[in-house]
Structure 1
């Protein structure tokens, strides 16, 4: 057993002994008379994450409980940790029940400790997917962008900057293969993750994000929406190469990573990817919608409301083969299914003359 494995075991044992949830983990004792604590999922700079089962809701669904456990001693740092933990809860509540963002279930204080309960997404990270299955090709990465760019556009429209987009924070749901964006900034506030092919190292700082995935303005504590575009571009490069940003050489003149020779992709896609990872804000895409337009997907953009209220004209010339080529996100497909169900229900009701009792 190496030192790294031993450290993990020691941290796991410490968590079980010194936290309320750890002490009842695996037992029949219910937390708040509702949650069975099953096991530890992980620990970040300011919190511990547990997998739990809701004993009250029908079907006893799984959920994730994050407990604020900052490894700090001075009051100022503790206050800041509490503020950022609360901010994560407010952000998840603000973003609502988007199918590609974990839903906030509850947020509360119990015995002086703060807890956040959210939807459990059963799946694996894109980082793990690449490690297991190998690098992705251009078609697969474009498919990934088709699914994640509308999510990014959605959170930006809600005035939220994620600040830590990377393969480890993108989950592929096992049930329906959708991509889910996780970790909205509070729990790992204290860490910079040095993302490489092996073990992640960390440096203590006030910076929120991941070294190599965060652009210069974010390192200067001034993130903008385009900062997420940069991180997403670096993520695409990882998916294509299996290499983290710190594994590449850098252009000493521009500060940009030298990735072009490592990847065989079309010139058009290389141009878009290059603009996503421009160090200079002036040369980078400003919004997710701008990226979609440059990729030729602007005319396919839609939102849930339009799917629920609009239908194709009866004499539309669009045939089934053309419809199948138009990309629709999981949320939009769900909305279309709801619309069709309502239409069938209305047709059924109109064809049967029901008299109210």
Structure 2
């Protein structure tokens, strides 16, 4: 069933003064006979995000309503935007079964606007966490990667690229301290008119990401799964240094961030992070599982080192066996050696007494 009408009413400048939900903030009026709009918690080029309360469900839980404003100028473009939006929403609904991704509760169209209703995560961003508590240690940064890489692997298995992983899009849940990935690039894509021909126009309207955290191929509108690995690596570097990618020096030849000048971590971890944020796709980790494997191997190095013989073993050679022309089996040789050792021990004890 088509959940969207063919009406289009938003061929106009987008402003808070004309926004119905913005006018409802703080009032007792219900949106769609269900949601109490509390306040605006975010605003960007893709629309506005509101904190709301579900007046129908028991306990009146909080939720997030994302209002998207597709930039379209014809009914045909509007219908195409609605179809894409519905497809993206269904993808988010499937992803929301993961404990580190907000659950999609509903999606619909109203008055020429598109809406998503998602689970509200109580917590704070990792950017705020670093500002308040300071930078992370190497051990904490590794733990962060071990928490997030399975989420990226889950996205990879579902053929989804987030495209905007950064400290502001990672929430530390106040209830159980888990890290939740929010603000999916899948629905942040601008739903513009089909058939736009200007290259510059396409770049301005279709690029999804954040300068510094997004890799070069993303600026060319060709993101791949390894693009999220790059952004995750840059986020990890931010946790270690407290600096964003644009605040650090870049190699004049490769264009890569010289992040290792701002923090002291082990050589093995430096190699892993450096491979995560390689400019060249061919040199970068291709899948989240590749990074996890490298981290696990690095974790095993100290244990393997104890298994390697770097010094001569201090083992005394067995007592010589008296020469004989007869064949003596290994068992007999051992028995002879034991008797000789017992005789020496008995003689030593007699001497001491």
SS in 2 for 1:90: helix
Q: RMSD between aligned alpha carbons?
A: 2.4
Alpha-carbon distance in structure 2 between the residues aligned to 1:81 and 1:171: 29
User: How far off its partner does 1:189 sit?
Assistant: 3.7
Instruction: Give unmatched runs, 5+ long, in structure 2.
Output: 1-14, 191-202, 301-353
* 1:247 paired residue number: 247
* 1:267 paired residue number: 267
Residue pair 2:161, 2:185 contacting (<8 A) in 1 also:
no
Alpha-carbon distance in structure 2 between the residues aligned to 1:52 and 1:167: 24
Residue pair 2:233, 2:273 contacting (<8 A) in 1 also:
yes
Alpha-carbon distance in structure 2 between the residues aligned to 1:148 and 1:297: 18
* 1:332 paired residue number: none
SS in 2 for 1:163: coil
User: How far off its partner does 1:78 sit?
Assistant: 6.7
User: How far off its partner does 1:113 sit?
Assistant: 2.2
Q: Quick one: structure 1 residues 74 and 232, their matched pair in 2 at CA, closer, same or farther if it must change by over 3 Å?
A: same
* 1:127 paired residue number: 127
SS in 1 for 2:285: coil
* 1:138 paired residue number: 138
Query: May I ask how many residue pairs the two structures share in their alignment?
Result: 274
SS in 1 for 2:97: coil
Instruction: Give unmatched runs, 5+ long, in structure 1.
Output: 1-13, 191-202, 301-357
* Higher alpha-carbon Rg: 2
Q: Quick one: structure 1 residues 88 and 253, their matched pair in 2 at CA, closer, same or farther if it must change by over 3 Å?
A: same
Alpha-carbon distance in structure 1 between the residues aligned to 2:227 and 2:79: 27
SS in 2 for 1:48: strand
Post-superposition Cα deviations, 1:267-288, rounded to whole Å, max 9, x if no partner, equal 1111100110111111111111
Alpha-carbon distance in structure 1 between the residues aligned to 2:233 and 2:84: 26
* 1:258 paired residue number: 258
Q: Determine if the alignment matches structure 1 residue 214 to structure 2 residue 214.
A: yes
Alpha-carbon distance in structure 1 between the residues aligned to 2:214 and 2:83: 22
Normalised to the residue count of structure 1, the TM-score between the two structures is 0.71
Deviating more after overlay: 125-134 vs 74-83: 74-83
Q: Quick one: structure 1 residues 119 and 298, their matched pair in 2 at CA, closer, same or farther if it must change by over 3 Å?
A: farther
Residue pair 2:34, 2:55 contacting (<8 A) in 1 also:
yes
* 1:287 paired residue number: 287
User: How far off its partner does 1:187 sit?
Assistant: 5.7
SS in 1 for 2:209: coil
Deviating more after overlay: 86-95 vs 59-68: 86-95
Post-superposition Cα deviations, 1:31-81, rounded to whole Å, max 9, x if no partner, equal 1111111111111211111101111111110000011235x4745987786
Deviating more after overlay: 204-213 vs 56-65: 204-213
Q: Quick one: structure 1 residues 262 and 281, their matched pair in 2 at CA, closer, same or farther if it must change by over 3 Å?
A: same
Post-superposition Cα deviations, 1:283-323, rounded to whole Å, max 9, x if no partner, equal 111111110110117999xxxxxxxxxxxxxxxxxxxxxxx
Q: Quick one: structure 1 residues 223 and 79, their matched pair in 2 at CA, closer, same or farther if it must change by over 3 Å?
A: farther
User: How far off its partner does 1:110 sit?
Assistant: 2.0
Residue pair 1:39, 1:52 contacting (<8 A) in 2 also:
yes
Q: Quick one: structure 1 residues 297 and 93, their matched pair in 2 at CA, closer, same or farther if it must change by over 3 Å?
A: farther
SS in 1 for 2:27: coil
Alpha-carbon distance in structure 1 between the residues aligned to 2:255 and 2:161: 23
Alpha-carbon distance in structure 1 between the residues aligned to 2:219 and 2:252: 18
Residue pair 1:100, 1:151 contacting (<8 A) in 2 also:
yes
* 1:161 paired residue number: 161
Q: Quick one: structure 1 residues 174 and 88, their matched pair in 2 at CA, closer, same or farther if it must change by over 3 Å?
A: farther
* 1:109 paired residue number: 109
Map of 1:1-357 to 2, 5 A cutoff?
A: 15=16, 17-70=17-70, 72=71, 74-75=73-74, 85-185=85-185, 188-189=188-189, 204-296=204-296
SS in 1 for 2:39: strand
SS in 2 for 1:271: helix
Normalised to the residue count of structure 2, the TM-score between the two structures is 0.72
